[in-house]
Amino acid sequence: MRVLVIGSGAREHALLLALAKDPQVSALSIAPGNAGTARVAEQHTVDITSSDEVVALARHVQADLVVIGPEVPLVLGVADAVRAAGIVCFGPSKDAARIEGSKAFAKEVMAAAGVRTASSEIVDTPAHLDAALDRFGPPAGDPAWVVKDDHLAAGKGVVVTPNRDAARAHAASLLESGHPVLLESFLDGPEVSLFCVVDGQTVVPLLAAQDFKRVGDGDTGPNTGGMGAYAPLPWLPDDIYRQVVTDMVKPVAAELVRRGCPFSGLLYVGLAITAKGPAVVEFNCRFGDPETQAVLALLDSPLGQLLYAAGTGQLADFGELRWRNGAAVTVVLAAENYPGRPRVGDVVTGADAEGVLHAGTARRDDGAVVSSGGRVLSVVGTGADLAEARAQAYGILSSIKLPGSHFRSDIGLRAAQGEISVS
Ligand code: GLY
């Protein structure tokens, strides 16, 4: 099987490494990729938001399967174009990708499917902002305001704050730049990312993971695309995991079928495990980054065959997934000033070591790896438990040098110390 992966992050690097282990995968290509993915796959330059360019490349590399990593091409309908060209694609149609691309659509689907989620309101004009802010956050009953960009914002458009002025300023700046604002009630409790491979009504859940969205230790500072993750979650009871699949993901998949836009690809449910049980924070239409780096490090089943089965409507026959015992932790090394405008062009050393996945990197003519984005690397450690996996990840990280870079030192720490519990 010849596989073309679309994307350039550490998520796509992790996908390539897992695909390379599948005995049925004979050739790997990627577009546009990065300095790390060039070592595992044939690298191509295309505009990944252009259906024509992606289809032309898929034909050129004679792909049997195209795997689309990021949400933007999916929301734009690139998967539809690949399928229309007669090539198997792992990734939802433009219509189904609205589960991530349109928060209003996602809320509508969840309501129809009876799925518990935060109450919300969309504000599209500054004149309505103050009254709407009064209906959310303190003193309305929530400990904080949750203000989201209603456009795709790579995780960075969210502000959660108990400070009304800060909430208002973020909402006003989004409205000024022409983006509607989504105000939501605050969902308290540990967060879970659960990825499910979905083909119509068939849902195959992967290991649950937890993402760390704030830039600083102890969940401080602004939101990012994700600073680290670990899997599985020793504190998440099996019955809650099963409840999420049965009462949340399956009804949403069925509702999308009912609406004539069946989902085929990776349905990612982000949850908060509140005192009243799990509630959905968001659905995404693709693998999460950086959780994928931890989850796929533990997958034993052949990933190429799994994604091909979903893309060809044969997921129901795939059988149970197999996982390695133990735990995986991934820690993101970010460039100076990320999540603001990152400093780029610095030389990174130690980035070719095992367990190092690349994201914002490029290879200079002299062979040096240089930073080219905010999240530069994702370092993955595995071990018999979270403590071992953390030790391995941070050990690898200590041998990497990038001027001005930063990372969180507490990825998976509270879980490793048994400090997370749900009732
Ligand atoms: N880890 C958050 C995301 O992928 O959206």
Mean of all residue pLDDT scores within the chain: 95
The pair of structure tokens assigned to 277 is 């049980």
Straight-line distance from the first to the last Cα atom of the chain, in angstroms, rounded to the nearest whole number: 45
Handedness of CA 293, 294, 295, 298 (dihedral sign): positive
pLDDT (mean) for 127-150? 87
Q: How far is the CA of 155 from the centre of ligand 1 (A)?
A: 6
Q: Tell me the pLDDT tens digit for each residue of 204-237.
A: 999 999 999 999 999 999 999 999 999 999 999 9
Q: How far is the CA of 112 from the centre of ligand 1 (A)?
A: 25
Q: Tell me the pLDDT tens digit for each residue of 161-176.
A: 999 999 999 999 999 9
Most informative mutation of 158, 289, 408, 411 for ligand 1 (most atoms within 8 A of CB): 289
The pair of structure tokens assigned to 220 is 């401080």
Residue nearest to atom 4 of ligand 1 (CA): 288
The pair of structure tokens assigned to 8 is 């350039």
Strand locations in 176-224 (E): 181-184, 191-199, 202-205, 210-211, 214-216, 220-223
Strand locations in 51-201 (E): 65-68, 88-90, 120-123, 145-149, 158-161, 181-184, 191-199
pTM over 0.75: yes
Q: How far is the CA of 289 from the centre of ligand 1 (A)?
A: 5
The whole-angstrom separation of Cα 403 and Cα 423 is 43
pLDDT higher than threshold 90 for residue 156: no
Residue nearest to atom 3 of ligand 1 (CA): 288
Residue nearest to atom 5 of ligand 1 (CA): 288
pLDDT higher than threshold 90 for residue 63: yes
> Residues lining ligand 1, judged by CB closer than 6 Å?
155, 211, 226, 284, 288-289, 291
Q: Which of 31, 94, 27 has the alpha carbon at shortest distance from 65? A: 27
SS3 40: coil
Q: How far is the CA of 225 from the centre of ligand 1 (A)?
A: 6
Residues whose CB falls within 8 Å of the CB of residue 326, separated by 6 or more in sequence, listed in order = 298, 382, 383, 384, 385, 388, 389
Ligand 1 atom closest to Cα of 154?
A: 5
pLDDT higher than threshold 90 for residue 151: no
